[in-house]
Structures are given as C-alpha cells and as structure tokens.
Amino acid sequence: MEVTLRIKRYNPETDVKPVFREYQVDVDPMDRVLDALNMVKWKQDGTLTYRRSCAHGVCGSDAMRINGRNRLACKMLMNELGRKITIEPLLGFRVIKDLVIDMDQFFKSYKSVKPYLIADDAPSASERIQSPEERERFDDTTKCILCAACTTACPITWTNEEWVGPAAIVNAHRFIFDSRDQGADERLKILNTRSGVWRCRTIFNCTDACPRGIEVTKAIEEVKRSLLFDRVT
C-alpha cells in the first residue's frame, strides 16, 4: 500500500530550523516504520538520518515520535498507522540531525542514580540466594532498554533540565527493590529532591510510551512510597 511519510528534517549544516518533508513509499501493511524509513534512506534520500540497530524492539536505538506518540520505529507496524504518518524526533533534547537527538543528558541522569548493584557480601564459590518471589519483585523494571521514550514523553522533561526523568527512576527502582542490593538508602536520597521523584505529576505519559510494557508510573509511585513510609517493600 502507498503511504506518505511526513518527516521532520533538520540538518544543522544547512537549515536554520526544522522543516517537514514528504516521501511516498510502497509498503506492506506488516512492515515496520523502520522498514519504511529504510526504504526512503536506501532508495530515495540517503541524507535521511536516524538511529537503528536490532530492528525488533530490544536495543532501544530507534525511539521517535510517530503520529505524535513516542514509539520504537521497529516495533510499530504500518497497519496501525493510516496512510499519512508524521515522524518527528523525541521532544525535550537537542536535535543533532533529523530524528537523532542528543542523548547526553539522558545518560547523565541514568548514571546519577547509581544504576548498579551495591553489595559487598558475594559468597566466594556460589551465587547469592534469592527466592523466586524476591526476584519477581523487581522483574518489571529489569526490562528497560534505555530508549528514552518515557523520559521524553514526560512534559516535565520538556521544560526542566534538572528533572531526573522516568527512565532513571525505573533503573533506580530495579535496584532498590532487588533483595541483594544494599544501596537503597543512597539512591532514595538522590531521588528525594525537587528534581527527583517529587517532580512527577503522575500523568502516565511514561507508561503509555514504554515499548517494553513497563509500568513506569507505578515504579515511580513505589519509590515515592518508600520515601514516605521510610521502608522498601
């Protein structure tokens, strides 16, 4: 089927501001948006620029705004989108070129919450013991692929550079609720600030945006509750 891609283009070497350009492509209804972008890049206009790698929703490279919603281009099929599709870069961060945004602030926020196991009690010749129930407690937030769809769907990100953002909180949650971890206090202290969890207004944009189906808002609420009631459960 013939579809029109309306893509927001910006080349910092030649453009003063972004402009929309339209491309006609003949796609299969089961094609991914990424396939359609590749058709444009490979057959029509090699200057079109976007990130991509795994092409099946696990590497997190190709998050973008598709018809106004943050989605992975490789997980969104053409048959879900109609004949005219608007594609824009994620909001809230500097656009480097076309659909490529500057990820520096995103990874800086991620790193700020100490996203690694803090524990000094590893047994020498065996694994730590963790029950299936303890493992299940933080399963949802282990799924994060750091695509930035959630953080850039949050209106607070659009206006507040200090805001740590949902993705960082998700990754803090992944360790705070891991029975093996001893760093919950450090992370909760980092998140118990004006730019931490208390900025969140619980509007669920992040949960809607997550391509991995993580209940992001719920994870943020669980971190808030840990702070309010001074305990991790």
Partner 1 sequence: MAYYRFDAIIIGAGGAGLMAAIQLAGKANVAVVSKLYPPRSHTGAAQGGISAALGNVEEDHWEWHMFDTVKGGDYLVDQDAAEVLAREAVDAVLELEHMGLPFNRTPDGRIDQRRFGGHTRNYGEAPVRRACYAADRTGHMIIQTLYQQGIKHKLNFFDEHHLLDVLFTDDGICCGCVVMEVETGEIHTLHAKAVLIATGGYGRVFKITSNALAGTGDGVAIPFRRGVPLMDMEFYQFHPTGLYRLGILLSEAARGEGGILRNNEGEAFAARYAPTLKDLAPRDMVSRFIYQEVKEGRGIDGKDYVYLDLTHLPPEVIDQKLPDVTDFARTYLAVEPKTDPVPIQPTAHYAMGGLPTDINGRVIRDENGTVIPGFYSAGEAACVSVHGANRLGTNSLVDLVVFGRRAGRDILNHIKESDWATLPADPEFTARAQAADLLSRDKGENASEIRERMQEVMMDKVSVVRDAAGLAEAAATIHSLKLAYSSVAIHDHGKTFNTDLLEAHELGCMLDCAETIVAGAIAREESRGAHYRTDFEHRDDVNWLAHSLQYKSSGGLTLRKKPVTITIFEPKERKY
- Give contact residues for partner 1 (rule: CB under 8 A): 11-14, 30, 32, 41-43, 45-47, 49-50, 52-61, 75, 77, 96-97, 100, 103, 107, 111, 114-117, 119, 122, 125-132, 134-135, 138-139, 142-146, 175, 178, 180-181
Question: Quick one: tokens of 148?
Answer: 């930035």
**2 bridge partner residues:** 26
Closer to partner 1 at the Cβ: 147 or 153?
Answer: 147
DSSP 164-226: --HHHHHHHHHHHT-TT---HHHHHHHHSSTTTGGG-----HHHHH-TT---HHHHHHHHHHH
Closer to partner 1 at the Cβ: 116 or 158?
Answer: 116
Closer to partner 1 at the Cβ: 67 or 160?
Answer: 67
**Shortest approach of partner 1 to residue 178 CB, angstroms?**
7
**Shortest approach of partner 1 to residue 203 CB, angstroms?**
26
Closest CA to 25 of 44, 7, 51, 47: 44
**Shortest approach of partner 1 to residue 114 CB, angstroms?**
8
Closer to partner 1 at the Cβ: 47 or 193?
Answer: 47
- Strands 2-9, 84-88: parallel, antiparallel or unpaired by DSSP? parallel
**What values do phi and psi take at 20, rounded to 5?**
-85, 135
**Shortest approach of partner 1 to residue 38 CB, angstroms?**
8
